[in-house]
Structure 1
Amino acid sequence: MSLGRRHIALEGVYNIRDLGGYATAQGTQTAWRRFLRADSPHALSEDGQARLQAEGLATVIDLRTGAEIAQTPNPFAKRAGVQYVHRPLFTELAPGTLAATADGSCPLLGFYQGALDDRHEALSDIMTLIAGADEGAVMFHCTAGKDRTGLVAALLLGLAEVSPEDIVADYALTEGLITELVAGFLEMSRQKGGDVVAYARLLAAPAATMRDTLAHLEARYGSVPRYLAQIGVAPGDITALSDRLHDSVPAR
């Protein structure tokens, strides 16, 4: 999958991407500059912040924990013209704190499935907030823009009836964009005496992980709209999300 206009390259961030341009089951495509998925913007320059606002950014939803924000504050929290909201998917646990499984495999699949099954209230709150956001682009992010951000992106694209193959491909794009970020994380782990090999597995974005996560959602809940309804997202908010995701332009 080509990044094309999807990736917004700015100094200080690695993984800001637009969810627009994906073909939907209705024969249209997801709308551009409605939803941006991202890594932490804490090092984003003033010019970068202004560029995003010029691109239509109106709302920033920070999925990180309070501890992460205290360590690397969000510049949009005090920026005029942008609504900043902190909505942690987890209040204490961050994906980076997970350990490798006993057999050496990556525990990300269990983490993703567990988030879908156990974090209903948090995910419902996040999706409801997105549905009611002001007109303009909504950017949601965590630290690397991979795990927590990846789950929210998958739910949005699934609601738009983007194919599972494209949702998986969108997730997998992260790995090629965050190599420098990952190298920094691994070096910090090495300096602290951490298990760098196990940590590297957590920082990967294997396509099979998202593919199996989507299969779990379908097997247990039936579909993304049914999942959202079951976790407490109001029908009107599901409709608002769907309307915001879709574009009347036919897919090419």
Structure 2
Amino acid sequence: MTLIDAPTIELSAPVNLRDLAGIAIDGGVLREGLAIRTDDLALVTPEVADELVSEGLTTVIDLRSNHEVAISGRGPFAERPVAYHHLALMADVRESMRETPVFTHESMGESYVSMVETAAPQLVTALNVIAHSAGTTAFHCAAGRDRTGVLAAMLLLALGATDDDIVADYARTGPNMDAIMQRTRGVMGPLLARMGVDHEQMRASLPDGPMDVSMRILLDTLRARYGDPLAPLREAGLSDATIARLRARALGA
């Protein structure tokens, strides 16, 4: 299903895709091929989809809202042997933009805290999917920054990564933001237009400077509020068995 007012979707290679491999975790270093974080996979070309599948991709976790999925669907992956899990971390991305008309690194960090607390069940499901998938799992939202960054942070916390390494991984998206905004305008443009917001105006409102602050706020707030930053997920059902399986898979055991 697509929205009537959606423009022609231009397919292209991701501009914010990276394997989480190489990050120090409990017991060693995260191996290649467990988890990939990326910008919108529904917008990739068939050639990119084929390449990812040939490299071991077996599962896609889609963190986008129903409205975003309605515009571009699953893209080329709908025709490939890849398991698909739609786990929206926001019911309506348009509502979140109404509530946060001025973007700052601080407001974004606060929104990440809210996301962990309100979408903990979806995050737990995502971690279980990664733990039990046979091959590589890729997870994405639109930009591969906010919702994707929150899931990446929860995964890395479960694996025993340090806050500094989690922040460093998140901040790697910063230099890619211009390319991300250009690539996703075909999906985000119609959503913003429906609420009277111009895509270019929203793009111009994004904060400059290092992105570290947002992720620091998430991690520091969770630790201050709960002691254990994974507490909201544990309350939502994240088990020690799932964490153990994730760590074993991350080390190649």
Per-residue deviation, 1:138: 0.3
C-alpha distance in 1 between matches for 2:248 and 2:54: 23
1:126/1:105 CA distance change after superposition, 3 Å:
closer
| In structure 2, C-alpha distance between the alignment counterparts of 1:237 and 1:175, rounded to whole Å | 31
Mean CA deviation greater in 219-228 or 179-188: 179-188
Return the alpha-carbon distance in structure 2 between the equivalents of residues 203 and 18 of structure 1. Answer: 26
Q: In the TM superposition, what is the alpha-carbon distance from 1:222 to its structure 2 partner?
A: 2.4
Q: How does 1:40-119 map to 2 (within 5 A)?
A: 40-75=40-75, 77-93=77-93, 96=97, 98-101=99-102, 107-119=107-119
> Is contact 1:59-1:83 (8 Å) kept?
yes
More off after superposition, 179-188 vs 77-86 = 179-188
The equivalent position to 1:210 in structure 2, one of 199, 210, 215, is 215
Q: Which amino acid aligns with 1:244?
A: R
Q: Which moved more, 1:168-177 or 1:146-155?
A: 168-177
Instruction: Label 1:106 to 1:131 Cα distance change in 2 as closer, same or farther (>3 A).
Output: same
Counterpart check, 1:128 vs 2:128? yes
Kindly state the Cα deviation for residue 131 of structure 1 after the two structures are TM-superposed: 2.3
Contact 1:99 1:199 in 2 (8 A): no
Structure 2, unmatched stretches of 5+, are 1-10
Partner residue, 2:33: 33
| Structure 1: gaps of 5 or more residues | 1-9
Q: Which moved more, 1:161-170 or 1:201-210?
A: 201-210
Q: Any idea what SS the aligned residue of 2:137 has?
A: strand
194, 197, 201: which one pairs with 2:198?
A: 194
Residues 21, 30 of structure 2: 8 Å contact kept: yes
Q: Does 1:138 align with 2:142?
A: no
2:241 aligned with 1:244: no
User: Is this contact kept in 2: 1:106–1:202, CA < 8 A?
Assistant: no
User: What CA distance in whole angstroms lies between the structure 1 residues aligned with 2:114 and 2:177?
Assistant: 24
Shift of 1:136: 0.5
What is the CA deviation profile of residues 32-52 of structure 1, one whole-angstrom value per residue up to 9, with x for unaligned ones?
111000111222111111110
Residue identity opposite 2:101 in structure 1: A
Aligned identity (percent) is 28
Higher helix share: 2
Q: Please, what TM-score do these two structures have when normalized by structure 2?
A: 0.80
Indicate how the Cα distance of structure 1 residues 162 and 193 shifts in structure 2: closer, same or farther if over 3 A, else same.
closer
How far apart are the structure 1 equivalents of 2:110 and 2:40?
24
Shift of 1:183: 4.4
Taking the TM superposition and a 5 Å limit, the aligned residue runs for 1:175-186 are 175-183=174-182, 185=185
Quickly say closer, same or farther: Cα 1:150–1:237, change in 2 above 3 A: same
Q: Structure 1 residues 117-126 or 165-174, which shifts more?
A: 117-126
**Further displaced range: 91-100 or 207-216:** 91-100
The structural deviation recorded for 1:166 is 1.3
Q: Which amino acid in structure 1 is aligned with residue 212 of structure 2?
A: A
Deviation of 1:140 (Å) = 0.6
Q: Distance in 1 between matches of 2:199 and 2:20?
A: 34
Question: Once the 2 structures are TM-superposed, how far is the Cα of residue 208 of structure 1 from its aligned partner?
Answer: 0.9
Equivalent pair of 2:59/2:82 in contact (CA under 8 Å): yes
Q: 1:195 to 1:130 in 2, by over 3 A?
A: closer
Asked whether 1:173 is paired with 2:178, we answer no
Q: What CA distance in whole angstroms lies between the structure 1 residues aligned with 2:60 and 2:135?
A: 11
